[in-house]
Each structure stands twice: as C-alpha cells, then as structure tokens.
Structure 1
Amino acid sequence: MGEVAVLAVSAVLLAGFYAAMAYGLGLIYGVLRIVNLAHGGIIMASAYVTWQLFDRFAVDPFAAIPVVLMLFFVLGMGIYRGLVRFLPRGPAGAVQSLLLLFGVWLVIRNVVYLLFTGNEQVIHTAYATSSVRILGGSFSATRFAVFGVAVIALIALHLLLTRTYLGKAIRAVAQNPDSCTLAGINVERVYLLTFGLGTALAGLAGVLASTLFAINPSFGAGELLKSFVIIVLGGLGSILGIALGALVLAFAEVFAVYAVPPYLTTAVGFVLLVVVLVLRPGGLFGQRVLR
C-alpha cells in the first residue's frame, strides 16, 4: 500500500508538468484549429533561454518565468504575423500549417545547434538536491515547485478564458469565427493574441523542463508527442480536459512499471492514444471548446 501511495504522489507531480507542457498546444488548436508542430522547438528554446539567464546572470529559473513569458508571447505574435496568418483557413490549410510549423521547429533547433553545440546542459540550483518526504517516499522539492506553477497556470488560464473580455472573445472565436466577425469582434486580433499566449505557455513549459531535465537541441520532440497525446485524451480544445488528460497519462506511465519493463513505460501513452482514438475519438472527457 505504501509503494502504491508513493507512486500515486509521483504520478500527480508528473501530471502537473505534463499539463503545463500541453496547455499551449491545446489552446492554439482549440482556437485556430492548427496543430503547432513548432511547440516542441519552443519548449526547447525556452529551456535554453532559462539556462542562459541562470548561467550568465544568475537568475533563478522560477524568477525568470515573467521574462520568458513576455519574450515568448512576443515571439509567438511574431511567428503569427510573419507566417501563420498567411495560411488558408479550414481543411485547406491543415497540411500547409503542419509543414510550415515543422519548418519553424527545424530552424529553431539548428540555430540552437549553431549557438550552443549539441552538448547537454543542466541547471544546478541551490535547491536542486532538496527533497520532501511524503507517505514514506522522498520527492524532489523542485517537482513540487513545478507542480505549484502548473496549477497556478491552469487557474490563471481558466480565469482568463471565463472572466475577461479577451477570454470570452477567444471562446467565441473558437466556436464560430464568422459570427464573431458579424458581432464586431476582431477575429484576426484574437488569433494573434491566442497564438502569442499559446507560445508563451510553451515557453513556461520550457522553464519548468529546464529545472527537471538535462537539455540539448533535440529536446522537445518527446514533449510534443506527449502533449498531443494529452490533448487527445482530454478532448480537443478543452483546457480543463488537458489537466485531466495529463493526470491519466501520468498515472498510466507511472503504474505501468507493474506490467512492463521501465524502458517501455514511455510507449504506454501512445498505446493509450490509439485505444482512445478507436473507442472514443472525442477524448475521454468529451470534445469541448475551451472550457
């Protein structure tokens, strides 16, 4: 029973990072109906920015969050202004958006290779070795901090979407952009801000990832795939569903050690994805629009 409780706590902490990792991808898809393949590259780039701030200016990763959010919000708007807004809307632009944003990811990765080589980088903070004991298990204090930031991000995003004019405009555009145009909502501006916000959330995930893992220019590929699994599990376009989907994936991976060898646990999520797509294409929690 004690081992199960320890694994459950570990799964909940992991789910916090997974949810933060998928928020941006889910938000952009929910509004623009674009699968942002540059998402993994943004996470990796943000992790490198965080490492540079720590290495050159001794800025703690968690203290760097406001700077990174602002920087990647502006970057996201730049990507939208310079590239994404020229794509055709609807099914006609789906393949083009995949190719375009995959190209952005390749550019980001190769720029990082040129600037920092392919060596792995690690952020060593003063609290990196600190631990917290719960239910007989010892957990990294950093993982609790990451979980706390992820919960704050979920609450802030939920309040933004439900309590502000911008949030209501985003939800309206996600449901019917044509009607929003008739109602006087600047749909193009909503798309711009949404892409910027989604990119900023990917930047947040990069900050959190840099405190947990060693990073290199190839980092982000696995995070993109898992983010996609999470938004499919939770229901495409559902922010709260993303949190639940992250919880399902984390529990599946952590408790898979009872059934499969440790090196196969990362494949559990993809098996779960196939099963959900076959049995419940709308996701485990239904297909909702930014609730």
Structure 2
Amino acid sequence: MSRHVAIVTDSTAYLPPQTMERHGITAVPLTVVLGDRAFEEGTEISARSLALALQKRRSVTTSRPSPETFAEAYRATAEAGASGIVSLHLSSEFSGTYDAAALAARAAPVPVRVVDTGMVAMALGFCALAAAEAADAGSTLDEAVAAAEKRAAGTSAFFYVDTLDYLRRGGRIGAAQALLGSAFAVKPLLQLEGGRIELLEKVRTASKAIARLEEIVTERAGAGRVDIAVHHLSAPDRASALAARLRERVPGVADLHVSEVGAVIGAHTGPGLLGVVVSPR
C-alpha cells in the first residue's frame, strides 16, 4: 500500500494478517533454530511444531533478522511509494532486532525512524497499529513515531508460565529467580517492565495464578477504553475462557484479540503460556 509514511515491524508483533494488510504494515521475520535447521517465524514453523520440539527437549534457539533483510524491506517499502518509514521492534533487551534495523536504516533510500518499543507480542502490535492509524490519517514521520511511543507508554503486559525454566535457558530471566520458583513449587506471574521480564508475583497453583492474572488485568484496564490481547501457547481453552471473562468484566474493552504466540516467543516461555496485553486508547 502506497502512503506518505509506512510502518515496518517484526514477526513478534503477532498482528492479525488482515489488520496488517488493511494498514499496509510489513513484518520482518525473526528466525527459530531447531537443532541445525533454521526457520522463519510466521511462514516456515508453526507454534504447534515449536511446542512439540520443546516438550521433547530439543535444542531451540532464536536469532534476529539480518541487517540485509531489513534493508530489503526498506527498499521494497520505498519502491511502493513511501517517503518515510517508522520501524517498530521488540525490546532490545530480548533481541538484537532493533540493532539490525538501525544499521539497515542508515543506508535506506528514504528516512527511517527505528524505535525500540520495549514491548513484545501484541504490546508491540498495538504500537505498530497506532503508528499505522496515524499514518493513514496523514501524520508526518515524527507524528507517527509519537503515536507509537504514546501507545507504548500506556501499554502493560502480564503473563503466566507453567515454569520459568524456558526463560532461564534463554537468558530472559535470572537463574536465581528461576531457581526460587522451582524450589518452592510456585506458579509465576510476570510482567514487562522497562523492556525486561520481571517476576511480579508467585502463586501456589495454576488455577490461582490464572485467577490472579485476571484480577491484575481487570484492575489495570480500569473503566476507560482499552484494547486487550490474550496470548497462549498450546493452551487455547485457557485463553478463550480468560478472554470471555475479561470481556464481561472490563467495561471499556474495545478490541479483544485471542491468538497463539509464534515460535520466537514460545521458545522462551514454553507450552502453557497465558499472557494478556492491556493497551489504553
């Protein structure tokens, strides 16, 4: 889609395909490596395949897109008619994706503003959507960036995992925190804070942890207009049930998305993940 300002993000935004098509958003894929084979997220490996590999304790790692991949995306976007690009990416605390995008932006044929949102999953997706809506309304490059940054500042992400082991293996949470959770057989609730994954609360059982997650999200949403995304990995029934309860309990819910995370996030959280993003409008 040709427009004055175009939006590029990465595959961890997990925006619905129809939303990306409607707003002309481009997603650059990260890579998942199973054993000695590399797959592009979103096109070459499914969440189910990833979950099965994790359950079999196969070696799973992830890697950023190359600067050349970003350069190609920027060239194609410029050739489609964009005179400026906002490139929005997952937290640089999790991945070198931002660095690769920033490197490619230096030689892009049009101005590119690369933004480390400090977010991931639909917390990133809502930022990309805010920038795209601003661009659709005729905003300048700086105004589209500001719209994304404003959305990021108000967005919160909370999640439950069955075990901290996958986060520990990937270096996304400290070994001491992971050991604490294992030693006391607690179910952890986590949050995104300053672009990092932080332990929020420890709850004794999965059912109590999910109930507490619901309470936290309801409190955070308040009475204003909010968009909500419920993510999961190999837990569709849990996710659907939680989404239904949130729709009843959050009076200002506008859009409510339910989706399975992709392989990159799934590789670091493991099967059983249940996450909720709350993003005020």
TM beyond 0.5: no
Higher-RCO chain (CA-CA 8 Å, sequence separation at least 6): 1
TM-score (norm 1): 0.28
TM-score (norm 2): 0.28
More helix by share: 1
